[in-house]
Amino acid sequence: MNSILQLIKLNKSEKHGNMRNTPILIFAYNRPEVLKITISSLFNNYGFDQHPIYIFCDGPKVNTTNENLIKIKEVQNIINDFEWPTPPIIIKQEFNLGLANSIVNGVTKVLEKFESVIVIEDDIKTSPYFLSFINKSLEFYKDNSDVISITGFNYPLDNNTITEETFFLRGTECWSWATWKRGWDLFEHDAQKLYNELSEKKLFYHFDFKGKYKFSKMLKKTITHNHSWAVKWYASAYLKNKYTLYPKYSLVENIGNQGTNQSQNLRKLLGFIEQNEPINLLKENVLQSEEAYNLISNHFKRYNSSTYRLFNYLKQLFIKG
């Protein structure tokens, strides 16, 4: 039996309506140093001690190297070294599931017990105000079916002219996000079905941010490779006309490429923590910000046309499995 099913004893009668009790799900594999930063930054968030913690540690791939086995063990050692306010539930896989299966299975099972989840991968550094924004938003929009998720991420947009602290975009985001059970229930596993519907409704251009980033090609590739949870999550929400709340300035930073020669350029593409104070404005009306949509489209155009390696790196992050 899958160890996720074995180790998470979920009592469906135990529901947690208070969003401050929303579990944080951390997904890790073989990157001990970035995981240490990810967890440390969460410890610096107000209210972190009020959240149940689930940590999903993926196992080794077939014929993996000794070096990789050591890194996987280091990940587990780092988790054990932290003085957790409440002991986390740690799910260790004997064999490698891949990120896609790990996230989809983990989120699905935890949402059998809880009404909402916060999802963090092992390469996301958070602002001290990340959790307060996520918790406040989860509570505020919990009964608004137009809102499918909350994210702490936004791209570092040139000439950011967005007029309010937060905005909505149709679809979802995969770097630091939270959702409710009602939102995750809309996740469509069948990439072919999603691709066909986008094609029939002639939505590729808008789905791809005016053709500036080929999410539709990722989705098509996923039909045969079946390893991208993120693009299916985006398409599932997009086709249901559901929206994600974003901050104007990012509360998170992707640190998965720290220490490489590309890191500074990647910060320009992927973003860094710009928001280091509380976010107070939540919007009653759920409408897409065309201003933000256009700025992000231009952001993709600028970096995808001038730096192909950055484009390819972003693509691999989005479809990694």
Residue type, 292: A
pLDDT at 13: 34
Q: Residue 25, SS3?
A: strand
Closest CA to 252 of 198, 197, 176: 176
Element (H, E) at 270: helix 263-270
Give the integer Cα–Cα distance in Å for 301 and 316.
18
Q: Residue 122, SS3?
A: coil
pLDDT at 317: 53
pTM for the whole thing?
Answer: 0.88
User: Pairing mode, if any, of strands 177-180 and 147-151?
Assistant: antiparallel
pLDDT tens per residue, range 69-119? 999 999 999 999 999 999 999 999 999 999 999 999 999 999 999 999 999
What fold, for 18-319? Spore Coat Polysaccharide Biosynthesis Protein SpsA; Chain A (3.90.550)
Listed by start position, the domains of the chain span 18-319
Give the integer Cα–Cα distance in Å for 321 and 318.
9
**Cβ partners under 8 Å of residue 295, min gap 6:** 157, 158, 159, 160, 161, 162
DSSP letters spanning 202-220: T-HHHHTTTTTS-HHHHHH
Give the integer Cα–Cα distance in Å for 26 and 82.
14
Q: Which residues of the chain have pLDDT under 70?
A: 1-20, 226, 257-271, 304-321
pLDDT at 4: 35
How far apart, in Å, do the first and last CA atoms of the chain sit?
A: 21
pLDDT tens per residue, range 274-283? 888 888 878 8
